[in-house]
Amino acid sequence: MAYPGYGGEFGNFNSQMLGAAPDVLLGGYSGYPAYSDPYSSADDTMYAYFSAVAGQDGEVDAEELQRCLTQSAFSLETCRIMIAMLDRDYTGKMGFNEFKELWAALNAWKQNFMTVDQDRSGTIEHHELSEAIALMGYRLSPQTLTVIVQRYSKNGRIFFDDYVACCVKLRALTDFFRKRDHLRQGFVNFIYDDIFVEHPLCSKH
């Protein structure tokens, strides 16, 4: 069933494919699994769809991603950061495995959103966002949650597009941090340039 604000299913994926019952690691950040490449394009039901979306170059850019997600009305900027989250070769595009991984993540986030959006309004409020973030395994301070709400809400309500943008940045920032937190202590040291050189959301794409 399609609900206001976030459309229907994104694909035939188990909504828990990524991050099923995540553990919270020391330091308070999510225990989502690290990026992996477990997929094969052979005989995959998504591959024909991906090929049609990608066109001749065999990859999907932000504009192509936005066109294939028209039912959910994602902004171009949200599509850009979704690609940046998985853009390991810094091309500004996604191959099939990255596309399929994003599809799974979107379905997981959609199911999480629907769980807390009990009135099916297509928006969530501060306390519902806090619940959604906790369900994903993140342990954030009240001050951080307040900042997130201020950043992503419109008149105190958070629409699905902004919720996904929030999820993308939480995941990307968490992965950026945990790659450096080798002892899982919740703090790291890194140089200033690392943010711009290595962080996916700083890509020009």
pLDDT tens for the 205 residues of the chain, in order:
333 344 444 433 333 333 333 333 333 334 333 334 444 544 478 888 899 899 788 999 999 999 988 777 789 999 999 999 888 888 899 999 999 999 999 999 999 999 999 888 889 999 999 999 999 888 888 998 999 999 999 988 999 999 999 999 898 888 877 777 777 777 767 666 665 555 555 444 4
Q: Which fold has domain 47-202?
A: Recoverin; domain 1 (1.10.238)
Q: Is 150 buried (19+), middle (13-18) or exposed (0-12) by CB count in 10 A?
A: exposed
Give the domain ranges of the chain: 47-202
Tell me the one-letter amino acid at 175.
D
111 three-state secondary structure:
helix
Quote the CA–CA distance of 183 and 205 in Å, as a whole number. 32
For 62-67, the CB contacts below 8 A with 24+ separation are: 62/92, 62/205, 65/94
Alpha-carbon distances, residue 184 vs 26, 31, 57, 189 (angstroms): 6, 11, 40, 13
| Vertex 40: Cα angle to 34 and 41 (nearest 5) | 130
Give the pLDDT of residue 30.
Answer: 41
Q: 45: which 2 tokens? A: 């039901």
Phi-psi label, residue 58: left if phi above 0, alpha if psi -120 to 50, beta otherwise: left
Quote the CA–CA distance of 84 and 199 in Å, as a whole number. 9
Q: 83: which 2 tokens? A: 């690609």
